[in-house]
Amino acid sequence: MQHFQLFIDGAFSEGAMGQTMRSENPATGTPWATFACATPTDVERAVAAAKRALEDPIWRDMTQTARGKLLYRLADLIEENAEALGRIETTDSGKLLAETASQTKYVGDYYRYYAGLADKIEGAVLPIDKPDMHVFTRREPIGVVAAVVPWNAQMFLTATKLGPALAAGCTVVLKASEIAPAPMLEFARLIQEAGFPKGVVSIVTGDAENCAIPLTRHPDVDRIAFTGGPETARHVIRNSAQNFAVTTLELGGKSPIIVFEDADLDGAANGLIAGNFGASGQSCVAGSRGLVHRPILERLIAKITEKAKGIVVGDPLAADTHLGPLCTEAQINTIKATLGKAQSQGAIIHFGGTPLDRAGNFMAPTLVECASSETETLKVEMFGPVMSLLPFDTEEEAVALANDSDFGLGSGIFTQNLARAHRVSARIRSGICWVNTYRAISPIAPFGGFNQSGYGREAGIEAIHDYTRTKTVWINTSAEPMANPFVMR
């Protein structure tokens, strides 16, 4: 079995207590790797290294342009190693190699985007209302960043945090999920090869008690960038009360996809399949609440059913596989329980609905026709290939159903009516709205949610400012000494 170490202060090492965890290949159910687990002592080492690096002239005084060049170098290395990193991620998480390799290659563009922005971080001269005062602002690195990422899109979610943080001049301790962390620990080799100074980036993993909690409540952490579930996020917020770290949260979702009767049915079916069966449904923006205009419901179900017949479920390393295993057995159990309750509520399962009778965590792609908006599959984020469809009769009802959720991350609309697309997208409470497409991403486009899908935005120009603090500098330009403060004029 392969073994992966922690990366702290520019070097690879075991955890302070020598503890390891075992990772299973979800496609086979057999162990394939071990990885070192961090302890509070290791977290302390990583944060201390980040604090030192922040004040070390090598990083502190490096020009913004030079920081950008390091990010360009990292982007090149990611592209060169995309296939190898993708293969590790696929073996560790079960995601398709076709997706992990291509997504890893694409995240190079995120680092290039922020490399280009590194020397565009500017202050401003203020037209101050007092004579003999030259006043300007400057943006300075916010400090030590704790970045916490889940297993399901870790290269992408790391790029949206690490890219702007490093471009801004921060230092980062990245906490990879204890579920399938191997690609992140391997990614550390590229950080090292790119030439970032020691301590600027450390990568650790481990359980909540020994790793995540000590990191997010550490007094020297100035900012927390977290992606995960709402329950864990509540703990993160409580931890941040200890250090007052600026915190952003990118959480889960139950994203609606609205299909109007004038939609191109092939495009809508493909959008629903991409939104639910893409990445085996293991996506925070999975379009798992399909809202369909009642007159086209039967035709759309027939079209989805026909397309689903061609879905190949199998080895995620194989080029002809469309849908791989789920990462954990717990996801299978959640899906089975949720489907069982939905059926008791009157839901109809048109296809799928059961795990596959084979080794590994394989779940058949599943289509559920819901009896009401209270159907369990419309409420629970299952993180699996389950599509739920619910009919609606009017545009007003569609909008109300779309907004009937505690979440608000993604949403989709399929319609040929441009006015309707603008009208409905403006009314849906979600951070992202795709029209006649789904799951498209770009480093240029902000990513984040409303409600219990979190707050703050990742990617886009604004994100880089979230890793800076504004300092205001006042300079008295008068030739006269400062006036006596007790003599009022």
State how far the Cα of 405 lies from the Cα of 430, in Å rounded to an integer.
10
Query: What number is the average pLDDT over the span 154-182?
Result: 97
Q: What is the pLDDT of residue 252?
A: 87
State the alpha helices, DSSP H only, in 81-194: 82-93, 97-117, 154-168, 182-194
The answer to whether 194 touches 70, Cβ cutoff 8 Å, is: yes
State how far the Cα of 436 lies from the Cα of 257, in Å rounded to an integer.
10
Looking at domain 2-251+449-473, which CATH architecture does it have?
3-Layer(aba) Sandwich (3.40)
State how far the Cα of 297 lies from the Cα of 303, in Å rounded to an integer.
10
Is the pLDDT score of 378 beyond 90?
yes
Q: What is the pLDDT of residue 465?
A: 96
Is the pLDDT score of 331 beyond 70?
yes
To the query of whether residue 178 is one of the catalytic residues in this protein, the response is: no
Q: What is the side-by-side order of every strand in the sheet holding 6-8? A: 11-13, 6-8, 201-205, 171-176, 144-148, 223-227, 246-250, 454-455
Residue 57 dihedral angles phi and psi, to the nearest 5°: -55, -25
Of the residues 24, 186, 250, 376, which is catalytic? Answer: 250
pTM of this structure: 0.95
The answer to whether 14 touches 5, Cβ cutoff 8 Å, is: yes
Q: How confident is the model at residue 366 (pLDDT cuts 50, 70, 90)?
A: very high
* pLDDT, tens digit (0-9, with 9 covering 90-100), for 183-200: 999 999 999 999 999 999
Q: What count of Cα atoms within 13 Å lies in the side-chain half-sphere of residue 265?
A: 16
Q: How confident is the model at residue 167 (pLDDT cuts 50, 70, 90)?
A: very high
How large a percentage of the chain has pLDDT more than 70? 100
Q: How confident is the model at residue 223 (pLDDT cuts 50, 70, 90)?
A: very high
State how far the Cα of 417 lies from the Cα of 246, in Å rounded to an integer.
42
**Angle CA(233)–CA(104)–CA(311) in degrees, nearest 5?**
90
Q: How confident is the model at residue 487 (pLDDT cuts 50, 70, 90)?
A: confident
Is the pLDDT score of 489 beyond 80?
no
Q: What is the pLDDT of residue 4?
A: 98
SS percent in the chain: helix, strand, coil, step 5: 40, 20, 40
Is the pLDDT score of 483 beyond 90?
no
* pLDDT, tens digit (0-9, with 9 covering 90-100), for 64-119: 999 999 999 999 999 999 999 999 999 999 999 999 999 999 999 999 999 999 99
Q: Where in the chain is the domain with CATH 3.40.605.10?
A: 2-251+449-473
Helices then strands (H, E): number in the chain? Answer: 15, 21
Q: Classify 256-435 by CATH class.
A: alpha beta
Picking from 213, 202, 172, the residue whose alpha carbon sits closest to that of residue 40 is 213
E strand residue ranges, 260-328:
289-293
Is the pLDDT score of 488 beyond 80?
no
Q: How confident is the model at residue 323 (pLDDT cuts 50, 70, 90)?
A: very high
Residue 349 dihedral angles phi and psi, to the nearest 5°: -95, 115
Q: Where in the chain is the domain with CATH 3.40.309.10?
A: 256-435
Query: What number is the average pLDDT over the span 296-309?
Result: 97
How large a percentage of the chain has pLDDT more than 90? 98
* pLDDT, tens digit (0-9, with 9 covering 90-100), for 32-59: 999 999 999 999 999 999 999 999 999 9
Q: Over the chain, what is the mean pLDDT?
A: 97
